[in-house]
Amino acid sequence: MIRPTEIADAFCVSACITKVACERQFLATTAGFNPVQTGEYLELIWKKGGVHLVVLEGNEIVGWCDVAPAMFEGLSHVGRLGMGLLPEYRGQGWGKKLLAQALEAAFLKNIERIELEVFSSNQGAVEMYRSAGFREEGKKRNGRKIDGRVDDILLFGLLREEWRPGLQS
């Protein structure tokens, strides 16, 4: 089940993010965030008109997706997307469903452009973003170096008028 995140979810969202971060290959952070930081981030997203969703398996949060509006004047129409799923829930269609619901919710608000960065080695995510209509807009060559691996960071963007609901799910 996918639903909007609640403030009471901060501890479980924090644990989920931390588990994905500790894999050291999909997120910029390799340590995650504590529950207090996560709660503060959730409140900031909601205050700015953003979106935060979670995937539930029973009572366990197994994934998340957020679209956080930019903070500066002139950029407040832009949302930055971040998402992740626990390893055992990948490849089952949850990512596509979660992404589609987050895009729909964000574009129904004041978000006109959604952008993201993804490591080029994360081919599953790259393909999912492309299939959702995101366009590759640039590349930070050798943008990440960790554990002896060098990776490009791909920059993607999607405008509200380019998005076609239903295509992604």
Task: Split the chain (169 residues) into runs of 10 and give each run's mean pLDDT.
Answer: 97 97 95 96 96 96 97 94 97 96 95 98 96 97 96 98 73
Judge whether 134 lies within some domain: no
Q: Answer yes or no: are the C-beta atoms of 47 and 76 closer than 8 Å.
A: no
Domain that holds residue 17: 2-117
Judge whether 35 lies within some domain: yes
Q: Give the pLDDT of residue 110.
A: 85
Q: Give the pLDDT of residue 167.
A: 54
Q: Give the pLDDT of residue 169.
A: 47
Q: Give the pLDDT of residue 166.
A: 67
CATH number for the domain that contains residue 88 = 3.40.630.30
Judge whether 94 lies within some domain: yes
Q: Give the pLDDT of residue 45.
A: 96
Q: Give the pLDDT of residue 165.
A: 78
Judge whether 139 lies within some domain: no
Q: What are the b/e assignments for 11-42, b being 16+ CB within 10 Å?
A: ebbbbbbbebbeeebbbeeeebbeeeebbebb
Judge whether 22 lies within some domain: yes
Question: Which residue(s) pair with 63 in the sheet?
Answer: 55, 85
Judge whether 122 lies within some domain: no
pTM for this entry: 0.93
Number of structural domains the chain divides into: 1
